Structure 1
């Protein structure tokens, strides 16, 4: 009987080791996939202007409404939004046609006036402003494509 118990214990130890090897391997693969998902941002054809650093420059830039997208390098929800919203062909076409898109890096010391003026406390923050710099619509946090398109649609009813 002792041999059976000993073999049974050895067999369960091997199963336990095999389980944990597969567990950690799966954990590693899932973690790497999530990291890639969080940081991968495909290129897009949105004509972002990142040179606008003040409200004065903003109002003199164009006669179209302006999309202000407040972001930063370390913002994972910003990257996901860039990938899921702004990389979409329909969104790219509408943004380039209907508004002047401005990407504002909140960590850039030159953009402090815009960040302060619009009271940005979190990223991503998406703001639509008119030619005078008045806020027409805004969203704080990551938004999906549908919500973003609703914001653009609302611009047409405000005019």
Structure 2
């Protein structure tokens, strides 16, 4: 009988532990009505911020970081923090192992780091290290009161680039996707979620599939003359930086030009300017 009671008590304890773990997991993923629904996509968070007129609360974390897990279980489950975040911010969760380029873009040097990014491209607050529920709630309440009601209604255009922090990584070719440009002759901005490095430069791509295509054969997509305007060079002018929006595809390559007039000249006699190569 005693053994049976001990086993029963142990069983109840295991159920309690499991229920607690599931509760914490649900709170982190937005599974509870009293929890924070974290975005994990930079693009989606930016779109939501532009639509709802709210700044972004960026939570940079790592599974191996003990203080990060403490904030997950203690700070971000606090009812005051939950209410403030849900009412006034767009919550974005960045995993250091899964999104290292975003971590680099935000210049994160310690874990955890919590960042408030205003829609006017400025970082309002950067908090490195563990933040208690009291401390974070006070900070969020202060920021919420100081933000004007019309703070983000003026955002227009590409939401992802609009919310990119001022100290973010600078992408080559103005952040346009080279694969979309070559394969579909479409000028499309890449996403900070899909990046790669080539020739010492960071590039971003429209989708993960397009990034993979680039990685399989980067030279195929790399612009002629590293994206410099060959028409300017051929005509004796200083070879200026080509604009991806003024690009053409010819002989399976991308050719960029500094302006519409030089693009037009190339289209008329491409072989003449290609001899500059």
C-alpha contact (below 8 Å) 2:110/2:128 kept by paired residues: yes
Note if contact 1:67-1:129 (Cα within 8 Å) is conserved in structure 2: yes
Change in CA separation of 1:115 and 1:132 when aligned onto 2, cut-off 3 Å: farther
TM-score, with normalisation over the residues of structure 2?
A: 0.39
- Secondary structure at the aligned position of 1:67 is classed as strand
Q: CA deviation at 1:88?
A: 1.3
Root-mean-square deviation (CA, aligned residues, Å) is 2.1
TM superposition score normalised by structure 1: 0.65
Pick from 100, 103, 124: which aligns with 2:90?
Answer: 100
Which of 23, 46, 69 is equivalent to 1:79?
Answer: 69
Q: Which residue of 2 aligns with 1:9?
A: none
Question: Residues 67 and 101 of structure 1 are in contact (CA less than 8 Å); yes or no, is this contact kept in structure 2?
Answer: yes
Runs of 5+ in structure 2 lacking a partner? 1-16, 28-34, 149-277
Q: Which residue of 2 aligns with 1:61?
A: 48
Which consecutive segments of 4 or more residues in structure 1 shift more than 6 A?
Answer: none
Pair 87,58 (structure 1): closer, same or farther in 2 beyond 3 Å:
closer
Q: Which has the higher contact order (CA 8 A, sep 6+)?
A: 1
| Cα distance, 1:46 vs structure 2 | 0.3
Question: Higher helix proportion, which one?
Answer: 1
Instruction: Tell me the equivalent position of 1:126.
Output: 114
The equivalent residue for 2:127 is 139
Helix, strand or coil at the partner of 2:42: coil
Q: Does 1:116 align with 2:104?
A: yes
SS at match of 2:57: strand
Query: How many residues matched?
Result: 116
